[in-house]
Structure 1
Amino acid sequence: MISALEALQRLREGNLRFVSDAKNSDALTSHARRTALTEGQEPFAIILGCSDSRVPAEIVFDQGLGDLFVIRVAGNIVAPSQVGSVEFAAERFHTRLVVVLGHSSCGAITATLEELQRPSENQSRNLHSIVDRVRPSVEGLLATELRHDHDALVHQAVRANIRASANQLRHGSEVIEQLIQKEGLRVVGAEYSLETGLVEFFDGLPPGT
């Protein structure tokens, strides 16, 4: 088991390799690696990310088989199944870092903003369940001057949604709360830039990191 801070540093280093096109060896996905993992797994980080096809966590962080426990859902929202998945990995594998990974120009965020501004009668109930989970974190932004600047509005909404999801994980589960208080679990928020490939960690970081 590695600490949350060690895991965070490993993710940062992997992301820099990805951005600079200096990826790790294929050994991380080799036959030998697959064989070794049949006996079990020890993922060093849990990633709750968006389902967007442009943001696969293992590639963005340059990690291999068995390194990350990845949960993906549109808008990186937090619903009971996501909370349960985080609890499972943190308890079963003693993983001590959880990253809520959003990204620039997120379709779920823009869809929510559009729905708030121009409600649609044809939206499916299932899609509406995603919008309803994003809505509380972004609705207030439409009452600010940001409503006149679409790009700035989306950027701030993406960040607000990430913070809200991270906060829900920290305070929406007794299991996770106990792991934070007693076992050193840390939940942080991060945003991936589609334009640069960089991941910026900005929420829940310890001082000086």
Structure 2
Amino acid sequence: MGMPRPSRVWDEMLRGNERFVGGGPEHPRQDVERRETIAAGQAPLAAIFGCSDSRLAAEIIFDLGLGDAFVVRNAGQVMSDSVLGSLEYAVGVLHVPLILVLGHDECGAVRAAIDSQATDAEPLPPHIANLIAPIVPAVHRVSRTSLGQSIDPSVLDASEVGREHLRDTVAELLEESEMISAAVADGSLAIVGANYRLQEGRVVPDVVVGLADPASD
């Protein structure tokens, strides 16, 4: 039996998110039987690359179970070689039909990237500075300034910066991975970039690449 179409997987994930938003999650596939069934191997429905924020628990917000999602996380969902390798494993070995890149509002990494560009910004620890560096171009596009110019963080819309960074991340994923871009081109894989609203609990799509629109079925 082959993997389901990308659009069907995304539709199932949206239904799970609606259950979570409405306060009626089913907590599917989380029992002892499921644990024992998948012990010998995994066949996740989707790969989720999201922010490490503790409020962004991927399986919970989509009402998924054990073995349903191959999850990769770091602060600010910033692309790296390890992230690319993990997602290529999900596509090339596990044959997931969907990659979800998941950002959220009130992101600390986005805020750090914005604040780092202020005139009086304190230097960040080197590993944090390296982590947020890929977000900085989005900061300057939103502020309409050149890289290297200082900005006034108080007048910048962090949500807009987050959306720009999300789009950059999806674009980089396609540009940097020939395997993933080829899978999108042949219709076996779709990529969705979405934002999670912390208070509401709702996942809102922003970028859709491939066959991830449920209406396409």
TM-score by length of 2: 0.88
What's the secondary structure of 2:29's corresponding residue?
helix
Q: Is 1:153 the counterpart of 2:162 in the alignment?
A: no
Deviations along 1:99-149, one digit per CA (max 9) or x if unpaired, are 1100001000011000012464541110011121111222221227xx789
Higher helix share: 1
Q: Does the CA-based 8 Å contact 2:105-2:195 persist in structure 1?
A: yes
Runs of at least 5 residues in structure 1 that lack an aligned partner in the other structure: none
Distance in 1, matches of 2:82 and 2:121, equals 27
**RMSD, aligned CA:** 2.0
Structure 2 counterpart of 1:22: 24
Structure 1 counterpart of 2:86: 85
What's the secondary structure of 1:76's corresponding residue?
coil
Residue in structure 2 matching 1:189, options 171, 193, 203: 193
CA shift at 1:69, angstroms?
Answer: 0.5
Instruction: Report 1:163-178 matches (<5 A).
Output: 163-178=167-182
Structure 2 counterpart of 1:52: 53
CA shift at 1:187, angstroms?
Answer: 1.2
Deviations along 1:59-90, one digit per CA (max 9) or x if unpaired, are 01010100000000000111111011100011
Distance in 2, matches of 1:118 and 1:6, equals 48
Distance in 2, matches of 1:156 and 1:20, equals 27
Distance in 2, matches of 1:35 and 1:161, equals 39
Deviations along 1:8-53, one digit per CA (max 9) or x if unpaired, are 101100000001111114x521111110011211111110000000
TM-score by length of 1: 0.91
What's the secondary structure of 1:117's corresponding residue?
coil
Structure 1 counterpart of 2:148: none
Instruction: Give the direction of change, closer, same or farther, for the CA distance of 1:119–1:71 in structure 2 (3 Å limit).
Output: farther
Report the more deviating stretch, 11-20 or 174-183.
174-183
Identity of aligned residues (%): 32
Would you say how many aligned residue pairs link Structure 1 and Structure 2?
Answer: 206
Distance in 2, matches of 1:42 and 1:200, equals 25
Instruction: Give the direction of change, closer, same or farther, for the CA distance of 1:166–1:35 in structure 2 (3 Å limit).
Output: same
Distance in 2, matches of 1:203 and 1:136, equals 18
Q: Does the CA-based 8 Å contact 1:48-1:101 persist in structure 2?
A: yes
Q: Does the CA-based 8 Å contact 2:143-2:156 persist in structure 1?
A: no
Q: Does the CA-based 8 Å contact 1:46-1:70 persist in structure 2?
A: yes
Q: Is 1:134 the counterpart of 2:135 in the alignment?
A: yes
Deviations along 1:150-183, one digit per CA (max 9) or x if unpaired, are 5861110110111111111112111111111225
Q: Does the CA-based 8 Å contact 1:18-1:61 persist in structure 2?
A: yes
Tell me which amino acid in the other structure corresponds to 2:15.
Answer: E
What's the secondary structure of 1:196's corresponding residue?
coil
Tell me which amino acid in the other structure corresponds to 2:94.
Answer: F
Distance in 2, matches of 1:75 and 1:65, equals 25
